[in-house]
């Protein structure tokens, strides 16, 4: 029996340079997927996967992420007076759902460093990490991607990273996992090497790490001692490689559609996919897409 995965880290301190100019003033995580910020979708996935404590690793310039999860009394009063029960319930749910706290990453020293900031709040138990750019859509019959990884952690006791297959020419954008599919279970990928963003032309795999992880406390001492990589950042991928050597690391090829919402067309795709999954928006979205296709 393994300790339960109850806590999740959401690193949100990034500058969002891929999405300028809007990210000059609005955090990428607060960009809307139809009517809710991307970060809400990530938090909802975590909560639906059994997480009860969310730890945001934030930067000084992005306080409105914290405001979003706080109570807005003025708004609540106005909605209550108007008798707008539906909206009141929706906004109250955001501030009451789960326990969310926020830490500041005081220097931009990389993803590994961001995660290490949460060590005092997590301690000696397994935990999840979710990256805000990677939205993963699942249908109503399929558990959220993080829940699938947690389930596999309970089965195996081994730390998990989410994997997708990409075109080999694209692997330079990702953590690249080399190894083999488990012949007994096609979801499991036995990793024997992990390389952060391999230079183009050196790719040895089509298995890309995307932003869902279940990690064990052994990662803490590894991260603490890890030297920065060539770009000066403490890379999570380098720590995962060491964790693989010490305890093993499993790739999990989850069910679901992952979208890179930090990319412009990916962001558009995420909006359309989300709308198609919302019963009240689905038909109008299909009609709109048909109309635009015919007109172009």
Q: Does 131 bind ligand G1P (CB under 6 A)?
A: yes
In this structure, the number of other CB atoms found within 10 A of the CB of residue 261 comes to 26
**CB 206 → ligand G1P: shortest distance, Å?**
13
Give whichever of 122 and 240 is closer to ligand G1P, judged by the CB atom. 240
**Residue 19 in contact with ligand G1P, rule: CB under 6 A:** no
Left (φ > 0), alpha (ψ -120 to 50) or beta: where does 195 sit?
beta
Of the pair 188, 237, the CB lying nearest ligand G1P is at 237
Residue 38 backbone dihedrals phi, psi, to 5 degrees: -50, -40
| DSSP string computed for 221-254 | HHHHHPPP-TTS---HHHHHHHHHHHH-EEEE--
User: What part of residues 64-123 is at the interface with ligand G1P (CB under 6 A)?
Assistant: 111
211 near ligand G1P (CB under 6 A): yes
Residue owning tokens 């040895």: 204
List the one residue from 29, 196, 203, 238 that touches ligand G1P (CB under 6 A). Answer: 196
DSSP string for residues in 72-140: -HHHHHHHHHHT-HHHHHHHHHHHHSSEEEEEE--S---HHHHHHTTHHHH-SS-EEEE-TTEEEE--T
User: Contact between 10 and ligand G1P (CB under 6 A)?
Assistant: no
Q: Which x/- pattern over 133-172 shows residues binding ligand G1P (rule: CB under 6 A)?
A: xx--------------------------------------
Closest CA to 255 of 163, 173, 158, 166: 163
To the nearest whole angstrom, how small is the minimum distance from the Cβ of residue 131 to ligand G1P?
A: 5
| Smallest distance, ligand G1P to C-beta of residue 111, A | 5
205 lies in the site for ligand G1P, by CB under 6 A:
no
Evaluate the CA torsion angle 23, 35, 274, 44 in order and state its sign. Answer: positive
- Using the contact rule CB under 6 A, the part of the chain among 26-34, 52-60, 127-135, 243-251 near ligand G1P is 127-135
x/- map, 213-242, ligand G1P, by CB under 6 A: -----------------------xx-----
**Position 209 contacts ligand G1P (CB under 6 A):** yes
Element housing 186 (H / E): strand 185-196
- Would you tell me how many other CB atoms lie within 10 Å of the CB of residue 2? 14
64 in helix, strand or coil? Answer: helix
Closest CB to ligand G1P among 182 and 263? 263
Residues within the interface to ligand G1P (CB under 6 A) = 111, 131, 133-134, 174-175, 196, 208-211, 236-237
């Amino acid at each position: 029996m393994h300790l339960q995965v109850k806590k999740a880290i959401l690193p949100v301190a990034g500058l969002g340079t891929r999405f300028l100019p809007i990210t000059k003033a609005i955090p990428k995580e607060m960009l809307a997927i139809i009517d809710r910020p991307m970060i809400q979708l990530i938090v909802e996935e975590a909560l639906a996967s059994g997480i009860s404590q969310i730890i945001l690793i934030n930067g000084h310039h992005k306080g409105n992420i914290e405001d979003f999860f706080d109570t807005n009394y003025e708004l609540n009063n106005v909605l209550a007076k108007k008798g707008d029960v539906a909206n009141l319930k929706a906004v109250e749910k955001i501030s009451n759902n789960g326990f969310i706290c926020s830490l500041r990453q005081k220097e931009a020293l990389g993803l590994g460093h961001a995660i290490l900031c949460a060590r005092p709040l997590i301690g000696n138990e397994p935990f999840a990490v979710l990256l805000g750019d990677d939205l993963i859509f699942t249908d109503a019959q399929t558990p959220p991607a993080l829940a699938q990884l947690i389930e596999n952690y309970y089965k195996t006791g081994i730390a998990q990273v989410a994997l997708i297959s990409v075109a080999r020419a694209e692997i330079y954008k990702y953590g690249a996992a080399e190894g083999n599919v488990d012949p007994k279970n096609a979801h499991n990928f036995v990793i024997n090497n992990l390389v952060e963003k391999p230079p183009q032309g050196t790719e040895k795999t089509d298995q890309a790490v995307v932003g869902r992880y279940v990690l064990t406390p052994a990662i803490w001492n590894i991260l603490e001692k890890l030297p920065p990589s060539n770009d000066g950042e403490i890379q999570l991928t380098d720590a995962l490689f060491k964790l693989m050597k010490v305890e093993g690391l499993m790739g999990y090829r989850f069910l679901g559609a992952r979208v890179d919402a930090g990319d412009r067309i990916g962001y558009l795709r995420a909006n359309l996919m989300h709308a198609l999954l919302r019963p009240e928006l689905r038909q109008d979205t299909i009609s709109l897409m048909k109309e635009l296709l015919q007109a172009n």
